[in-house]
Amino acid sequence: MKRLWLIFAQAVTVALAAVFVISTLKPQWLQPAPQRRDAPATSPLLLPQPSALPSSPAASIVRAGFSDAARIASPAVVSVTASKAAARSAGRTRDPLFGFPFGPRQPRSGPQLGLGSGVIISADGVLLTNNHVVEGASDIQVQLSDGRQAQAQLIGTDPETDVAVLKIDLPNLPVIPLGDAASLQVGDAVLAIGNPFNVGQTVTSGIVSALGRSQLGINTFENFIQTDAAINPGNSGGALVDADGRLIGINTAIFSRSGGNLGIGFAIPVDVARQVAASLLKDGVVARGWIGVQTRELTPELAEALKLGDAKTPIRGVLIGGVVADAPAAKAGIRPGDVLTRIGEHPVLTPAELLASVAALKPAGQVEVGVQRGGKAMTFQLTVAQRPRPQRQAEED
């Protein structure tokens, strides 16, 4: 009996020691197997009843994107069809990499149909579009997103910013809210809305890639918003809107080797388009100042050749390459070879700055300009003239 008891005690001791070792080194071996909670253990293939399934969240919770912005802006974006005669005047020569996203035309042997887009900005039927969409058109038709159509009246155009103003007469017109392009920042989300390739109204999304793009050779006055939102033929004159559905630009041009979208598009800021539209609606023209000079950038080599200043005190300004006869600059005594250094109290360092500064002057007003002639600083008083309609072959300030 004692022997059996001894064997039992030893077995229990060994078992307890084994449990202790396992619980110390491999405690998971002693855990019970987890049981599935989605079905009883006796029926592993049994699915829960429909009433037991969790309900789906509301669509407004799971939806992401810019559907609200598209819903606000899209009704005010229209398709514009411009009928043009077969013989068309030659446009400005452009870098082949830059082009207008203007829709397909008919063969040159007959009347041409150009397709673009436009944006309704007032309830009385005022539309913004591009000048190149309607330039030379004998008939302009507008189609709304709700299917209504109307013949448009051309109020006026401004080729130097590529803005045109149309007007239609229809009741209950949708109007796009206007945004503030000056508040844009690189990286802001934007939508481009138009009728590319005549497939119907289309919304594409992207971001603001750059601001203040200029010297592209597209327009005379350039201050473009650059975006990677897809812009294709037919989008010209369409809307670039922010994430709240407000108009911030008019889609105008693309950078492309093939004529299609490469992710680099340009839009006219709404602030510029709105100012141009106000002038066209009020006066029929955009009043800009003009003094009649042709300019060149003043490089260090030119400054040295003209003996302007020295290395320690270089002259900064814009070189006058030519002066138009009987223009304000010629009447005041400005000559080719002079360096124009300021307009009023504002210094000018580049031809683009000079162009913008002069254009901002009020026609018939007086302005004092600073000029460097050789080693002598001079001032001239000018009577500003109205900037003439743009010449296709040359630009003058």
What are the residue numbers of the active site? 132, 162, 236
How far is 347 from 341, CA to CA, in rounded Å?
6
β-strand pairing of 98-99 with 149-151: unpaired
**What amino acid is encoded at 167 in this protein?**
K
The SS3 call for residue 49 is coil
How far is 170 from 124, CA to CA, in rounded Å?
8
The three state secondary structure string of 318-370 is: EEEEEECCCCHHHHHCCCCCCEEEEECCEECCCHHHHHHHHHCCCCCCEEEEE
Taking alpha carbons only, the member of 143, 260, 273, 151 closest to residue 201 is 143
Taking alpha carbons only, the member of 232, 227, 207, 233 closest to residue 267 is 227
Taking alpha carbons only, the member of 253, 238, 227 closest to residue 94 is 253
**What amino acid is encoded at 380 in this protein?**
F
What number of residues does the chain have?
A: 397
- Count of helices and strands (H, E) across the chain: 8, 22
Taking alpha carbons only, the member of 242, 80, 79, 82 closest to residue 145 is 79
How far is 377 from 381, CA to CA, in rounded Å?
14
Point out which residues pair with 49 in neighbouring strands: none
β-strand pairing of 289-290 with 385-386: antiparallel
- At 261, list the tokens: 């979208």
